[in-house]
Copies of this chain bind each other. A is one copy, B any other.
Amino acid sequence: MKADETRRKIVIAADHLFYEQGFENASFADIAQAVEISRGNFYYHFKTKDAVLAAVIEYRLDERKTMLRLWELEEDNPANRIKNFINILIANQTKIMAFGCPVGTLCSELAKLDHALKPEASGLFTLFAEWLEQQFAELGCGDQASDLAMHLLMRSQGVASLANTFQDAEFVRREVEAMYKWLDQQCPPKRPM
Contacts and interface: CB of A to CB of B under 8 A. Distances in A.
Tell me if A's interface is mostly helix, strand, loop or mixed. Answer: helix
A181 B192 contact: yes
Contact-residue size bin, chain A (C-beta under 8 Å from the other chain): 35 or more
B99 A164 contact: no
A162 B181 contact: no
A62 B157 CA distance: 27
A113 B25 contact: yes
A58 interface: no
16 contacts: A22-B109, A24-B24, A25-B112, A99-B111, A99-B112, A100-B112, A109-B109, A125-B165, A125-B166, A150-B166, A151-B178, A153-B162, A154-B155, A154-B158, A154-B162, A181-B192
Interface of A: 20-22, 24-25, 98-100, 104-105, 107-109, 111-113, 122, 125, 147, 150-151, 153-159, 161-162, 164-166, 171, 174-175, 178, 181-182, 185, 192-193
